[in-house]
Structure 1
Amino acid sequence: MSDEEDYMSDAFLQKLPDTRPGLLSKDCVRRQEQRKKEKQYNEKNKQKPKAVLEREKREEGLGASLSSDNKGFSLLQKMGYKPGMAIGKSGVGRTEPIPVEVKLGRGGLGREADQKRKKDQQVQMHKHWSAKRRKMEAEHKQTFMRRMNERIKNKNVDKDLYKSQKVCEQLDSQMGITQPHEAFFWPEALLPRQAEEDDDDINGVGEDERLDRMQPGYSGYVQDDVDDDDDNDDDNDDDDSRETEEEPAASYSVEEMLDVLTIYLRTKHKYCVWCGTKYNDKEDLMKHCPGNSAELHEDM
């Protein structure tokens, strides 16, 4: 028994008409089918607009190759031209006819090209200003980040200076030192009254002599500025008649004060504020301490 004869097979059931009741009445279904047929008939027999017909005819004519019935093509053939060859004496000219450009607008000749040129200029100008704006935003961002980094760095320097001042006061007190070596070596709240009144000369020791007592080599910011030119030039002059000119105490920035105080702590007490350790001697300090700045301790 084949599938067509089997009344329960899918092939047989698919041939049967759909007789299931719908939501629409028979009259509504009949009117819908009638309107659908009318629509198909109107689309089939509808007359196309003139512009559409012209475009179709033009494309059809341009797509068709020239035949021998064409007068110009027949003249070319008489002169030895064959289909597919390039025109010209040397045979390097055109192989296809000049394409037809249809002018759809009502503007004058050259107006569309001028509008296109202006539009291209506007696009290029927009790209130029966009790139310039992005560059300026990047520069502003870098400037802002640099200022923020400097602010954070200055804040850290102030914190390190205050910590170093507290440590210096404690270590000096342990050694029985009652006066700071420099006015900024101790916190301002712990400075003696004498140090507050006379910051330039403490215990009769001058600025150059105090800096000269420190061992150089730990810092690149502070150097000894001792003027020894007069010692070599005026050996035969009387010492009592020599005129000495005292220079005022140097005004240091926060970074320079921290640098000078770091040298003092490392030379006098063998202490590193960033390591937080008091070393036994100079060799122990140089061996186990990375350096005399916070940057050298960042990788620890």
Structure 2
Amino acid sequence: MSTRKRPPPNPLDPDSDSDTSSPPTSKKRPFQQKPPPTTTTTTTAPPPQAANAASNDEDDEDDYMNMTIAEPTLPETFSQRKKRLQLEAETRARPKSKAELAALEKANRDAALAKSLLDTQTPNKGLLMMRKMGFTPGSALGAPTASTNTARLEPIPVTLKEDRTGIGHASAQRAKLAATAPPTTTTTTAAAQLSPEDYRARVAEEQEERRREAQLVAAQKLAEEFECERSGSSVGTRAVPLRSINVLWRGLVKRREEKERERRMRYDLLQSLDAPRLPGYDRDCELDEVDKAALGITVPGLRRPAGTVVVEDEGEEGDEVDEELEREEARSAGERVAALCEYLRRQYRYCFWCKCRYEDEEMEGCPGVEEDLHG
């Protein structure tokens, strides 16, 4: 038995067998031990959407302060339903307060006033009657007005009257004010023609006139005090007739007595409201001696009751016109002040501008009679 060597395989020959180390093919293959499997870890990057979702989940899990936990809703029990129905019934049965009723009334009134009277969705009785007479919403109704020269498209709006005066009171008040007010045409024209310089001059003149009037009253009071001091009487009490007082301050005395007489008359009227009225008290005729004594008027030869108020009965003296006093008051305040200053210097050696009474007639140290000389 001869053995023949096989030639080595040619790598360039495709038909040659490349596996030289493999044993010949047999039905039973010998047992071969397999190497252990090698585990390779491959890292695959997640998609960007999944990464964003994961980061959002982490942020949501970490935001414990803003987490809202839904409370489980339990079904309403029988006792809870009974209590709720009882509370609703008590709320409906409770009478509303005045504030609630006023608010409800205001809301209903505003809603009714805001609704158009020509609303076709909810027509009212008036609109239905007008439709039957041939009116259609949107068409004009009535005569054209003077301002727009067109007829009215909407009904006259409702004006709510909130005061308690009668109907027509406001128009009557406006007419009364217009009748009593002076005409504004002359005033407006004069104000328009008045320049700023003229206005300032007029205001300065008015202020100077008021200052002169105040000086006149002060000089009259000083002259009266000096005269009462010389005669030994007190200021405010007159023991001589009014015409015998010097005309320079006679007006001051007359105004003071008239004011005192008015005060006494008001006092007597208030005191005699509950007392019985005597015959002839409210008449214009002259009272007799008995009525004068009953009313407290001084009557010669009669004694008046204690506690009665005495009212001087001037007679004809108060009714006569004092022409001398009228001529004096017709003069300007500056002229009257100058006359009083001259009288005080001549009679009492008193300078009204220096506010000083001198010892001799020369009045050494006084600049003069005029106010401007005193600075």
When normalised by structure 2's length, the TM-score is: 0.26
Of structures 1 and 2, the one scoring higher in RCO (CA 8 A, sep 6+) is 1
When normalised by structure 1's length, the TM-score is: 0.32
Larger Rg: 2
The structure whose residues are more often helix, as a share, is 1
